[in-house]
Chain A
Amino acid sequence: KAGVTQTPRYLIKTRGQQVTLSCSPISGHRSVSWYQQTPGQGLQFLFEYFSETQRNKGNFPGRFSGRQFSNSRSEMNVSTLELGDSALYLCASSLSAGEYNEQFFGPGTRLTVL
């Protein structure tokens, strides 16, 4: 079974631009979660989607948004990029929603904002 894939792997943007990151979960997995990882803040939860609905949301500004498609693939969008948005963005999929389901992580997208 293929693992979680994220595209692109690396991205360089400038302040004010917007960016869209993509995540393809493991086949059969219906839940997708997004995380931001930075050296200073560690792993921070962004949001979780299950069956195309946002199930849970972390404490991030509205510039961060996401969606999930009927095939469980997910995208997250960051508008009006700031320098502080530079981070590794990780996507994780699980069979079902909820905190007790093992999450399988993708390799991440490293975003650099200049």
Chain B
Amino acid sequence: SQELEQSPQSLIVQEGKNLTINCTSSKTLYGLYWYKQKYGEGLIFLMMLQKGGEEKSHEKITAKLDEKKQQSSLHITASQPSHAGIYLCGAVLPYQLIWGAGTKLIIKP
């Protein structure tokens, strides 16, 4: 959806390095989901952010919501092969959820 832009579209990172994925909305965000998808499979919930400035962490993944910028960032510290996959953000808008196109993450050993 052009209303929700993810960047970069793809990312190749050396194992052990940090990385950041961004999700920017053209509309006011009421909440933001991050999901991870292995190729051709369903989506796995990572976290949901609802309040401006909210930051959540799960293992080595941290996500933050910047309401003013209408943006969320997902940061992975010390990447591992298990982090490889497609990361999708989903924005909560009035009466609908819209999704970004995804960021494909490849981890080089």
Contacts and interface: CB of A to CB of B under 8 A. Distances in A.
Interface residues of A, number: 20
Interface in B75-97: 88, 90, 92-93, 95-97
Interface string B44-77: 1100101000000000000000000000000000
Interface residues of B, number: 25
A99 B97 contact: yes
Interface stretch (A13-21, A64-72, A78-86, A105-113): A105-113
Given A42-B1, A99-B92, A103-B45, A110 B40 contact: yes
B107 interface: no
Interface string A80-100: 000000001010100000011
Nearest to A88: B40
Nearest to A40: B101
B9 to A, nearest CB: 11
Contacts of B42: 4, 90, 105-108
A114 interface: no
A108 to B, nearest CB: 6
Interface of A: 4, 35, 42-45, 56, 88, 90, 92, 99-100, 102-108, 110
